[in-house]
């Protein structure tokens, strides 16, 4: 983990570095979808119009900024169970509409519930007799407006404005304005109209379709009415949890408003910004009974536009002390926005990586998916520990069949404390780990790559082979622990097949790379990222313990924290944390046979600006609706600072295009 002074010094390396702005017209950029389908963005999909006449048509609207895949989604009404439907498209574009005809009849007085393929409730609308004829539509804003009976013909497949009445009823100006699922389960209603509205017979319900609606006044006896411009709060008596919703019904049973959020998304609260009219976002501080602060970040339920950080929670355990990020630098010129989904999930338990030698619980650095088994994620902890992680209830946890607490790693002589930073999976299934120094002697660099057999028994692993490149970096051997800590930070295994297929020129021969010239190196090369200057160092690791040096590659970044080869994009990805503005540079082989920067992306906007030193993308075999998982690790478990839901967590999960 670099010191603050070292990181500040590194920022000066950017001057004169290769920029990527001239490369943004590459084929890779052109191949990326303008808005990738995001199955995790279902909270942005809303029922927008429905009719109980003739074909019983339903319209869905995507209020998000990325398209959403809806394959396998289902619907139900107030009497029949979930049924499959046939939409006009299996993907809803950002700001787009999809329609379908109900597989079962919809009645004059009925309800409609939409579910994802796994049964999660997406949205719901209830109506009284005759309200859905000729149609019932959201008016005052597609996806978020109040439900009213349209005055003209239905407008399925297009904006609702043409069928909306000239004036919206006063009761329809009442909106859900803020909600929390933190145990108090508080809901705030706001009246944006100019007339008071009686709430005496109004009800609410969550997304559990077995629950009956509950009157607002039974939850709060004083909530019998709401003045113009006023607020009413009440505590839900039916409980609100993760992946939940609140639906507000008027005295006739018509849905007035709703909000939906993902796991633990309504903590400390979800609030409309601005009051009564805006999209929901996660707040920094709950403000029930007063104006929303709108000081949080990310889009929440009801069609958030900017993404949301989801999950988290828990208390910091004794000795688990987060460490603030250091040396934040600027984002390189020409950097593009994150191309995947906008939402990000906290993907580990709080303080999950404490060990017998590192009770602070920090320092998860390198990450790599196992290409032969994408359900496995390997992780390196700086204080010489290796973890095999598997998914459980949406979180990455240690595989107890391998080791519930991780395995300690040593240098080849069975001693020392490798400052393990990066790791990759080789073609033989072995784990290759980089170390910057021996933490037992942390003022002296020890830039090595170690090969471990994950099938080896015992709680401590020693290398099958170890390659020491320390002598190549005399600039790190100054007697300073900060300089010694600026060595090998990441490593990625790159198959020979990619190098040859793309025409990489071997810098040792000046001609096309021929793997047969190096008979002991295996079937690929290893690209080690040097934190000192952001360069990649290419090695052939021979089975006899020797190595071949193929030279240095500039990434155009001040530092490199992780390196991965991604078969999906056919690129080498060089990742930098807050030192370079939280960015990922994809490297390609150009027409001259050199490996050069192709395009650089930022992290999703909701991510913290921390020492996010590890990055991995799942193999394309895991793709769903054009997306696959991306995982980040926070070297300091700092999140957004004390008191927020991400404080004390090391892993974040999002999506990346296939």
Give pLDDT, residue 52.
87
- Tell me the two tokens of residue 333: 């010129």
Give pLDDT, residue 265.
57
Q: Residue 9: helix, strand or coil by DSSP?
A: helix
Q: Is 420 exposed, middle or buried (0-12, 13-18, 19+ CB in 10 A)?
A: buried
List of E strands, 120-254: 121-127, 136-139, 146-149, 174-179, 186-191, 197-198, 203-205, 214-215, 225-226, 231-235, 244-249
Give the CA distances from residue 215 to residues 22, 200, 212, 223, in Å, rounded to whole numbers and listed in that order. 61, 8, 10, 10
b/e map of 546-572 (b: 16 or more CB within 10 Å)?
ebeebeebbbbbbbbbbbbbbebbbbb
Q: How far apart are CA 233 and CA 219, in angstroms?
A: 9
Residues of the chain with pLDDT below 50 are: 1-39, 297-306, 359, 642-643
User: Phi and psi of 651, rounded to 5°?
Assistant: -120, 140
Partnered with residue 390 across adjacent β-strands are 376, 397
Give the CA distances from residue 462 to residues 29, 377, 407, 436, 442, in Å, rounded to whole numbers and listed in that order. 42, 20, 10, 17, 20
b/e map of 123-142 (b: 16 or more CB within 10 Å)?
bbbbbeeebbbbbbbbbbbb
Q: What is the Cα 173 distance to its own chain's centre? A: 34
Q: How far apart are CA 417 and CA 337, in angstroms?
A: 38
Give pLDDT, residue 645.
59
Q: How far apart are CA 124 and CA 121, in angstroms?
A: 8
User: Phi and psi of 373, rounded to 5°?
Assistant: -150, 85
- Tell me the two tokens of residue 615: 């990055």
pLDDT in tens, 332-367: 888 999 999 888 889 998 888 888 765 455 678 999
- Tell me the two tokens of residue 374: 């994408």
Give pLDDT, residue 515.
98
- Tell me the two tokens of residue 621: 């075999």
Give pLDDT, residue 296.
56
User: Phi and psi of 513, rounded to 5°?
Assistant: -60, 130
452 contact partners, CB below 8 Å, separation of at least 6: 386, 409, 430, 431, 432, 433, 461, 462, 463, 464
Q: Is the peptide bond before 274 cis (omega within 30 degrees of 0)?
A: yes
pTM above 0.75, yes or no: no
Give pLDDT, residue 319.
58
Give the CA distances from residue 408 to residues 70, 416, 420, 458, in Å, rounded to whole numbers and listed in that order. 44, 11, 10, 10
Q: How far apart are CA 573 and CA 577, in angstroms?
A: 13
């Amino acid at each position: 983990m670099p010191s603050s002074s070292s990181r500040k010094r590194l920022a000066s390396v950017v001057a004169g570095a290769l920029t990527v702005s001239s490369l943004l017209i590459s084929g890779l950029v052109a191949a990326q979808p303008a808005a990738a389908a995001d199955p995790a963005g279902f909270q942005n999909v809303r029922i927008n119009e429905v009719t109980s006449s003739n074909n019983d048509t339903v319209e869905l609207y995507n209020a998000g900024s990325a398209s959403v895949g809806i394959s396998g989604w289902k619907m139900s009404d107030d009497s029949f169970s979930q049924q499959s439907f046939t939409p006009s498209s299996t993907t809803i574009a950002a700001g787009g509409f999809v329609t379908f005809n109900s597989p079962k009849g919809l009645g004059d007085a009925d309800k409609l519930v939409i579910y994802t393929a796994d049964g999660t409730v997406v949205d719901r609308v209830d109506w009284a007799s005759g309200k859905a004829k000729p149609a019932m539509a959201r008016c005052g804003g597609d996806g978020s407006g109040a439900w009213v009976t349209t005055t003209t013909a239905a407008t399925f497949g297009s904006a609702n404005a043409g069928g909306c009445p000239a004036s919206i009823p006063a009761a329809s100006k009442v909106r859900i304005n803020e909600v929390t699922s933190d145990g108090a389960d508080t809901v705030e209603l706001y009246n944006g109209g100019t007339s008071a509205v009686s709430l005496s017979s109004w009800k609410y319900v969550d997304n559990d379709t077995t629950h009956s609606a509950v009157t607002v006044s039974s939850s709060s006896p004083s909530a019998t009415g709401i003045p113009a411009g006023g607020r009413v709060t009440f505590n839900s008596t039916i409980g609100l949890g993760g992946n939940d919703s609140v639906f507000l019904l008027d005295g006739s049973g018509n849905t007035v408003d709703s909000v939906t959020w993902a796991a633990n998304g309504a903590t400390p609260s979800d609030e409309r910004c601005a009051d009564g009219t805006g999209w929901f976002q996660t707040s920094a501080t709950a403000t029930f009974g007063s104006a929303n602060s709108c000081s949080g970040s990310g889009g929440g339920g009801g069609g958030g536009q900017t993404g949301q950080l989801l999950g988290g929670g828990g208390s910091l355990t004794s000795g688990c002390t987060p460490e603030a990020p250091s040396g934040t630098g600027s984002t390189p010129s020409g950097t593009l926005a994150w191309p995947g989904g906008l939402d990000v999930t906290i993907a580990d338990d709080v303080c999950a990586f404490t060990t017998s030698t590192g009770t602070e619980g920090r320092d998860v650095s390198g990450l790599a998916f196992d290409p032969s088994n994408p359900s496995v994620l390997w992780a390196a902890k700086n204080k010489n520990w290796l973890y095999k992680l598997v998914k459980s209830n949406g979180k990455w946890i240690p595989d107890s069949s391998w080791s519930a607490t991780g395995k300690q790693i040593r240098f080849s002589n069975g001693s020392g404390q490798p400052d393990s930073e990066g790791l990759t999976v080789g073609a033989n299934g072995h784990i290759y780990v980089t170390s910057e120094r021996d933490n037992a002697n942390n003022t002296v660099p020890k830039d090595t790559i170690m090969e471990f057999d994950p099938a080896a028994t015992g709680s401590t692993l020693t290398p099958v082979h170890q390659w020491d490149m320390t002598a190549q970096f005399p600039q790190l051997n100054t007697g300073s622990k900060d300089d010694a800590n600026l060595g090998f930070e990441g490593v990625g295994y790159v198959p020979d097949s990619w190098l040859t297929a793309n025409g990489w020129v071997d810098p040792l021969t000046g001609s096309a790379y021929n793997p047969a010239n190096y008979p002991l190196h295996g079937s690929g090369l290893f690209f080690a990222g040097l934190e000192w200057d952001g360069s990649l160092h290419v090695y052939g690791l021979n089975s006899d313990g020797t190595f071949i040096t193929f030279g240095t590659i500039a990434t155009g970044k001040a530092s490199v924290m992780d390196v991965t080869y991604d078969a999906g994009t056919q690129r080498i990805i060089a990742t930098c944390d807050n030192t370079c503005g939280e960015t990922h540079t994809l490297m390609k082989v150009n027409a001259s046979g050199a490996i050069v920067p192709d395009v650089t992306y930022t992290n999703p906007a909701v991510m913290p600006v921390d020492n996010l030193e590890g990055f991995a993308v799942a193999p394309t075999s895991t793709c769903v609706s054009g997306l696959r998982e991306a995982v980040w690790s926070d070297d300091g478990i700092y999140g957004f600072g004390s008191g927020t839901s991400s404080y004390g967590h090391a892993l974040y999960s999002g999506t990346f295009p296939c």
